[in-house]
């Protein structure tokens, strides 16, 4: 079933707000100590004891009355210099994200997006540019006139020639990316980085998260998903 403004400028803003909203939830711990916040996610048995070092702060003008069990936000281990954090169980390139019910996950295939969604309107616009990438296994879609980033699609059937680059119904949006200058910790310097957003569906719950990509087209996103799900599952509260 289709849906509207997804993976757009609107989403980049709203996902940050959503992370702040959901991250405000903290319940009394059962099986956890004071160094953890306890969260529930609809459809997932048991609770998550999220270390407070991964807590997402909130701002005063955002209300904290988010329904219990709607999910939780978390901060990752990413730093501007991408140094390893030996005490962190999450992939170092993950900035943060939201864990939510698998029932709230929305399909990422081309056919799942409404014709009036910003994604399709941006890509179908006359100024849009579709480029084959990764040996025809991916398509990078951009439109500098209407959107500052680009959409990376994985082809269900790889392109076999240099003909017209198109998106088909089963092609999957694997990330929405943009170039940014990120601060280097402890210095006034910055460096250029490719920062991306991704939605992923696991066995018990879904994730929406942001991460740094090594290139314009993220590689091994399924592997990154698996590492992130494993890290979050390590936060399951002990009974």
Please write the tens of the pLDDT for every residue from 202-225: 999 999 999 999 999 999 999 999
Residue 83's pLDDT is: 78
Tell me how far apart the alpha carbons of residues 29 and 159 are, in angstroms, rounded to a whole number: 52
169 DSSP assignment? T
Copy the structure tokens of residue 6. Answer: 């997804």
Strands 36-39 and 48-51, bridge-based pairing: antiparallel
Nearest-5° Cα angle at 205, 203 to 206:
105
Tell me how far apart the alpha carbons of residues 8 and 84 are, in angstroms, rounded to a whole number: 31
What share of the chain in percent tops pLDDT 90? 61
Tell me how far apart the alpha carbons of residues 202 and 101 are, in angstroms, rounded to a whole number: 10
Please state the rounded mean pLDDT for residues 135-141: 95
In the chain, where the domains are located: 9-107+198-233, 110-175
Confidence of residue 159 (pLDDT cuts 50, 70, 90): very high
C-alpha closest to that of 193 among 80, 90, 85, 77 = 80
pLDDT at 87 over 50: yes
Copy the structure tokens of residue 211. Answer: 């991460």
C-alpha closest to that of 199 among 98, 118, 115, 110 = 98
Distances (CA, A) of 21 to 50, 62, 166, 197: 16, 7, 38, 18
pLDDT single digits (tens) 52-75: 889 886 555 445 554 555 789 999
């Amino acid at each position: 079933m289709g849906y509207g403004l997804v993976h757009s400028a609107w989403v980049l803003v709203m996902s940050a707000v959503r992370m702040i909203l959901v991250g405000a939830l903290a319940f009394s711990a059962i099986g956890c100590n004071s160094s953890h916040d306890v969260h529930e996610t609809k459809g997932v048995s048991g609770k998550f004891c999220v270390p407070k070092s991964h807590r997402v702060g909130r701002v005063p003008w955002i209300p904290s009355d988010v329904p219990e069990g709607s999910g939780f936000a978390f901060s990752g281990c990413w730093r501007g210099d991408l140094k390893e954090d030996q005490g962190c169980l999450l992939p170092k390139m993950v900035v943060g994200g939201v864990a939510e019910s698998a029932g709230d996950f929305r399909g990422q295939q081309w056919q799942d997006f409404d014709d009036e969604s910003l994604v399709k309107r941006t890509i179908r616009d006359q100024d849009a540019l579709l480029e084959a990438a990764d040996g025809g296994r991916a398509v990078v879609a951009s439109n500098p006139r209407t959107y500052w980033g680009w959409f990376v699609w994985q082809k269900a059937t790889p392109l076999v020639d240099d003909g017209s680059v198109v998106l088909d119904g089963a092609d999957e949006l694997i990330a929405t990316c943009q170039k940014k200058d990120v601060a280097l910790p402890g210095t006034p310097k910055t460096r250029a980085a490719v920062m991306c957003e991704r939605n992923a569906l696991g066995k018990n719950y879904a994730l929406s998260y942001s991460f740094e990509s090594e290139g314009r087209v993220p590689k091994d996103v399924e592997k990154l998903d698996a590492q992130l799900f494993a890290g979050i599952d390590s936060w399951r509260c002990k009974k």
